């Protein structure tokens, strides 16, 4: 069952007198109880695509085309008041930096209780019990005493668990996890991803995972979408993505993953284009070892091969 579908999303930024387009016909879908991971280098449009769903965009950003269908309704037609009811209660965000996502002036419990009050309409003992249950779900020990702690009394991993608890307390149907393991050590990363998988399996929660860590993706994502310069260039299920990648950029990303083999680490030459940089044809062509004349003139469309595997490239 498809719970979220982004269709031909176009977004740009007003930079003084010039409008710079940042997203080009971005399309992807998220099934119920699925982890979809959007991967790519920094600046490729991953976070902007996710923030468009919640309509949490900078003032200079403007969506010029597209639809974002959640449970059969187009979120782009909703008012800000409508979106306030959807954010948190239906679609929750696990932000990129757990260190700065909690207000240092209030206890973690007060911040959790406020969210429960706003989105669940609970107060008093009922809200307090809901907060304890949320902490128990994310395996924060001694929940009653921990609710009284301030953010500085939590480790990085515990802060991330608290933020996930805030999303779970409102029984959100979709979690948008934007680099959820950034700044956490490897052991804590594994614990957070195990927790997200348990949430997915136990609650049938759908997760949109934004990351550049392909090792993390290989172990956790059901489906992967690769972005480059504001476009989706390949989508595939986990097995197809890692065993049969088609786009040269996907291949280059996979070759840059460190391994235990005694093999020189490969890098992708050059840099991703900036918003102001004009590149005709495929935006990856200056960095692509397979670049042909047509690549410098035309933009390839996504084409579908077996198992709903899609990629945008002129190579067969």
Higher pLDDT, 225 or 184: 225
Of 137, 160, 164, 134, the residue nearest 147 (C-alpha): 134
What is the per-residue pLDDT for 244?
A: 93
What is the per-residue pLDDT for 64?
A: 96
Question: Looking at residues 18-45, what average pLDDT do you find?
Answer: 94
pTM of the predicted protein model = 0.91
Of 13, 38, 43, 41, the residue nearest 26 (C-alpha): 38
The Cα diameter of the chain in Å comes to 68
Band of the pLDDT at 259, cuts 50, 70, 90?
low
Higher pLDDT, 261 or 298: 298
In whole numbers, what is the pLDDT of the chain averaged over residues? 90
Whether residue 261 has pLDDT greater than 80:
no
Question: Looking at residues 40-60, what average pLDDT do you find?
Answer: 93
Question: Looking at residues 118-135, what average pLDDT do you find?
Answer: 88
What is the per-residue pLDDT for 189?
A: 84
Whether residue 265 has pLDDT greater than 80:
no
What is the per-residue pLDDT for 150?
A: 95
Whether residue 282 has pLDDT greater than 90:
yes
Report all structural domains of the chain as residue ranges with CATH numbers, in order of start: 2-311 (3.40.50.300)
Of 125, 207, 121, the residue nearest 170 (C-alpha): 121
Whether residue 260 has pLDDT greater than 70:
no
The conformation of residue 273, written as its DSSP 8-state character, comes to: P
Give 166-183 pLDDT, tens digit per residue. 888 888 899 999 988 877
Buried b (16+ CB within 10 A) or exposed e, 139-177: ebeebeebbebebeebebbbbbbbbbbbbbbbebbbbbb
Question: Looking at residues 252-268, what average pLDDT do you find?
Answer: 77
Band of the pLDDT at 212, cuts 50, 70, 90?
confident
Band of the pLDDT at 262, cuts 50, 70, 90?
low
What is the per-residue pLDDT for 257?
A: 79
Instruction: State what percent of residues in the chain have pLDDT above 90.
Output: 63
Give 72-98 pLDDT, tens digit per residue. 999 999 998 999 889 888 999 988 776
Of 82, 43, 54, 83, the residue nearest 176 (C-alpha): 54
């Amino acid at each position: 069952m498809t719970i979220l579908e982004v269709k031909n999303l176009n977004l740009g930024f007003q930079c003084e007198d010039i409008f710079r387009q940042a997203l080009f016909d971005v399309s992807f879908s998220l099934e119920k109880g699925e982890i979809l991971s959007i991967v790519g280098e920094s600046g490729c449009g991953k976070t902007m695509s996710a923030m468009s769903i919640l309509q949490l965009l900078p003032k200079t950003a403007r969506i010029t085309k597209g639809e974002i269908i959640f449970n059969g309704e187009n979120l782009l037609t909703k008012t800000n008041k409508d979106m306030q009811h959807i954010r948190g209660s239906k679609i929750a965000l696990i932000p990129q930096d757990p260190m700065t996502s909690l207000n240092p002036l209030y206890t973690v419990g007060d911040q959790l209780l406020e969210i429960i009050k706003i989105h669940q309409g609970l107060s008093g003992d009922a809200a307090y019990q809901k907060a304890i249950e949320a902490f128990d779900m994310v395996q924060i020990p001694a929940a009653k005493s921990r609710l009284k702690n301030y953010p500085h009394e939590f480790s990085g991993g515990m802060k991330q668990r608290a933020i996930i608890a805030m999303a779970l307390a409102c029984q959100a149907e979709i979690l948008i996890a934007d680099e959820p393991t950034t700044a956490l050590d490897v052991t804590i990363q594994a614990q957070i991803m195990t927790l997200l998988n348990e949430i997915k399996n136990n609650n049938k929660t759908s997760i949109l995972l934004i990351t550049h860590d392909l090792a993390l993706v290989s172990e956790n994502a059901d489906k992967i979408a690769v972005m480059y310069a504001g476009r989706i260039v390949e989508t595939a299920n986990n097995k197809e993505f890692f065993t049969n990648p088609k786009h040269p950029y996907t291949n280059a990303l996979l070759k840059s993953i460190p391994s235990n083999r005694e093999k020189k680490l490969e890098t992708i030459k050059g840099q991703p284009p900036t918003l102001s940089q004009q590149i005709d044809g495929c935006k990856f062509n200056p960095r692509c070892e397979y670049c042909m004349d047509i690549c410098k003139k035309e933009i390839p469309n996504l084409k579908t091969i077996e198992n709903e595997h899609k990629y945008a490239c002129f190579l067969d």
